[in-house]
Structure 1
């Protein structure tokens, strides 16, 4: 059973999230919090597997809440939920340790699916957020350069370049599958193998590399 902590200053939003979560048979709302400070306190006292955190809250925001949650002795995976305003800082949340970003306009089935993904140690990034994350990362690297994955993509096959480009465009596995004429499971496997080949940890890094390499 996946134990979920809901963190949002809007009571109605928390209620909506709770109804979605508790409709599932493999997860339960372990606790709720209306602010980041309370969320950290609760997570320190109660076992939580996944924290669903609103990025915009009074007091400490979702980014700082994420950072503090991930610093706990038993840190929950953090799924940040956002209305996707310009100041939501998706890259900051990911750097703080968030396992993913989900838009508030999600379909009901998307939240449980995302919770399962991050609970299993995987990353979830809404396609609409990918371009913003990449752009923010590129600006940050311009201001403060640091070592990046190698830009030499000469040993990639044409199919791997297609995958790299598709991830850079923010396509989901299902969309990649449709574009390449393969199944979503195969697309997921191909992307995982590509990450391993390039020594990358997640799709965000792959998207950044695709932009740097001029594939888009």
Structure 2
């Protein structure tokens, strides 16, 4: 199922799931797009790590519950490696702990397995381009649970890295943490989308973060974003 000849502009995808039929379904969806190519498949996290090192995919669609090594551990392994592959966690479980575990392990996105084909394709493209996505219907619960169960640790001084951000970059970071798109940030801050993208790149560099989803996690962990409603 693995092919050696792939167009340079094609997004290479690795499918990781212990259910062959599910992998087949995802492959049929993705291979129907000219710019997407499934370079390989794996049935557990250990196979996924080996395949990432051998196939160098751009995006990994990663199941959570698998034998031998689960998707969270595999995602941690990919994040700790030299691979540039970005991980999309796919799960049938609409439970916050899976989303948090995946994102904190370094995943770039969290989607449910019943995602619509068009949304799945768009998510792969967004993640490959450096933009991350979280399923809209779980985004709010994700942040609510994070704030409720993982409050920012009290520290006498803010994270030193925040001092590297300009006032405008802090504003953009806060907008990212609230789930706003580049277009929404541009509208809110009266900036062009190109300027917003530049700010996002600088924020990621200064905070040593992989993508904008990691900005969300960082913002709530450090208290950069604090809910105004105590019952939030």
Mean alpha-carbon deviation: is it higher for 99-108 or for 21-30? 99-108
- Number of aligned pairs? 201
Q: Contact conserved, 1:51 with 1:79, CA < 8 A, in 2?
A: yes
| Equivalent residue for 2:115, pick from 92, 97, 106 | 106
SS of the residue 2:68 aligns to:
coil
| Equivalent residue for 2:74, pick from 48, 60, 65 | 65
Q: Contact conserved, 1:134 with 1:204, CA < 8 A, in 2?
A: no
SS of the residue 2:150 aligns to:
helix
Q: Contact conserved, 2:177 with 2:225, CA < 8 A, in 1?
A: no
Uncovered stretches (5+) of structure 1, i.e. residues with no partner? 181-185
Using the TM superposition, give the Cα deviation of residue 70 of structure 1 relative to its aligned residue in structure 2, in angstroms: 1.8
SS of the residue 1:113 aligns to:
helix
Q: Contact conserved, 2:182 with 2:196, CA < 8 A, in 1?
A: no
Q: Contact conserved, 1:7 with 1:51, CA < 8 A, in 2?
A: yes
Aligned counterpart, 1:29: 38
1:117 partnered with 2:121: no
Aligned counterpart, 1:18: 27
Aligned counterpart, 1:127: 136
Aligned counterpart, 1:6: 15
Aligned counterpart, 2:7: none
Distance (whole Å) between structure 2 residues aligned to residue 124 and residue 136 of structure 1: 17
Using the TM superposition, give the Cα deviation of residue 28 of structure 1 relative to its aligned residue in structure 2, in angstroms: 0.3
Distance (whole Å) between structure 1 residues aligned to residue 81 and residue 182 of structure 2: 32
> CA offsets, 1:78-133, max 9 Å, x none?
11112234364212211211111112121110111111111111111112232324
SS of the residue 1:60 aligns to:
coil
Aligned counterpart, 1:204: 216
Aligned counterpart, 2:59: 50
Change beyond 3 A, Cα 1:114–1:30: same
Q: How does 1:103-182 map to 2 (within 5 A)?
A: 103-131=112-140, 132-141=142-151, 144-145=153-154, 147=158, 168=178
Aligned counterpart, 1:183: none
Distance (whole Å) between structure 1 residues aligned to residue 97 and residue 154 of structure 2: 23
Distance (whole Å) between structure 1 residues aligned to residue 176 and residue 44 of structure 2: 37
Q: Contact conserved, 2:176 with 2:216, CA < 8 A, in 1?
A: no
Q: Contact conserved, 1:50 with 1:78, CA < 8 A, in 2?
A: yes
TM-score, length-scaled by structure 1:
0.71
| Equivalent residue for 1:77, pick from 53, 70, 86 | 86
Distance (whole Å) between structure 1 residues aligned to residue 175 and residue 56 of structure 2: 40
